[in-house]
Structure 1
Amino acid sequence: MTGKKVKLAFILNDSARKATYNRRKKGLLKKVNELSTLCGIEACAIVYSPYEHQPEVWPSPSGVQRVFAKFNNIPESEKSKKMVNQEAFLNQRILKSGKQAKNLRRENRKLEITLLMFHCLSVGNILHNNMSTIDLNDLAWLIDQNLKEIDRKIETLEN
């Protein structure tokens, strides 16, 4: 179950801000620990605090150094293989959303033409006065696809 939606804004009350910071830091370090345990990976976290002089590290300073050393020993091409900055990430999301929108438009168009076909079948004629050539071509294509599907099913039943 998810909790209530939190309004993300700067907390003006110093003691409430510090309490929230400590609680969230504890949760973050717990999540890093869980990720490391559940996925069998080496992970570390470094948290710089306005309330402490030294950054807090997880699991330990030597553990963090080990993870960084391992990361630094990876060739540059491997390091940056799946690494993206915010601009690249947003561009990927825009492309993905564009593809999804295109697929939805295609699916909506197919449903629109299918409804048109069923309407024409129920009325008994094609209302071509208010239809564009594109609509008529799409309708003809859909009818052809349905006829091919019917032929395939008849052939399957005969065999």
Structure 2
Amino acid sequence: MRRIGRRVRLGFMVNKSQRKRSYEKRKKSMLNMLNELSTQGGVEAGAILYNRFEEGPVVFPSVEDMEESIEERFEKLGTQLLNLKRVNREMEMGLVMYQILQGYQLNNSLNFIDLNDLGWVINTYLAEIDNKLG
């Protein structure tokens, strides 16, 4: 399907206020597209715009947006790290449990926290067995 649109004349706009209005519309549209691309597409995107209407460059995302994004990322990574530590600990205690069941000697290398976690893992496995049997 072919889109039919109006023709756009390219050229220098003599009227300064009209030129500024056009620039603001295009800038807003482009920043919206970059924002959608970075949030929906999962792509890191940025832009630096220089113009005569503003002092200095316009940076997207701004420093505040970047700080907020970095803080959110650290929080998410911290949560993932805690989950991975928990899963790793459960697997480690499960392995210790299976070693005990196979008759391996544990040379008193388990401290109170290890024994507590081992007890929790054993209770979890027993609960799973009860659920499957009953």
* TM-score of the pair, normalised by structure 2: 0.52
Counterpart position of 2:130: 151
Aligned pairs, number: 82
- What CA RMSD, in Å, does the superposition of the two structures yield over aligned residues? 3.1
3-state DSSP of counterpart to 1:123: coil
Give the 3 Å change call, closer, same or farther, for CA 62–147 of structure 1 in structure 2.
Answer: same
| Structure 1 CA distance for aligned equivalents of residues 24 and 69 of structure 2 | 29
Aligned amino acid, residue 71 of structure 2: N
Q: Which has the higher contact order (CA 8 A, sep 6+)?
A: 2
Please state how far the C-alpha of 1:64 moved relative to its aligned partner: 2.9
Matched, 1:64 2:25: yes
Return the structure number with greater helix share. 1
Aligned amino acid, residue 123 of structure 2: D
Counterpart position of 1:93: 73
Q: After superposition, where does 1:15-94 map in structure 2 within 5 Å?
A: 61=22, 64=25, 85-94=65-74
3-state DSSP of counterpart to 1:130: coil
Identity percentage over the alignment? Answer: 35
| Structure 2 CA distance for aligned equivalents of residues 108 and 141 of structure 1 | 14
- Residues 131-157 of structure 1: per-residue CA shift (max 9 Å, x gap): 0111111111111111111111111xx
Any runs of at least 4 consecutive aligned residues in structure 1 with deviations exceeding 4 A, and if so which?
none
- Residues 75-128 of structure 1: per-residue CA shift (max 9 Å, x gap): xxxxxxxx9611111000010111111111111111110111111111266x26
| Structure 2 CA distance for aligned equivalents of residues 88 and 135 of structure 1 | 38
Counterpart position of 1:23: none
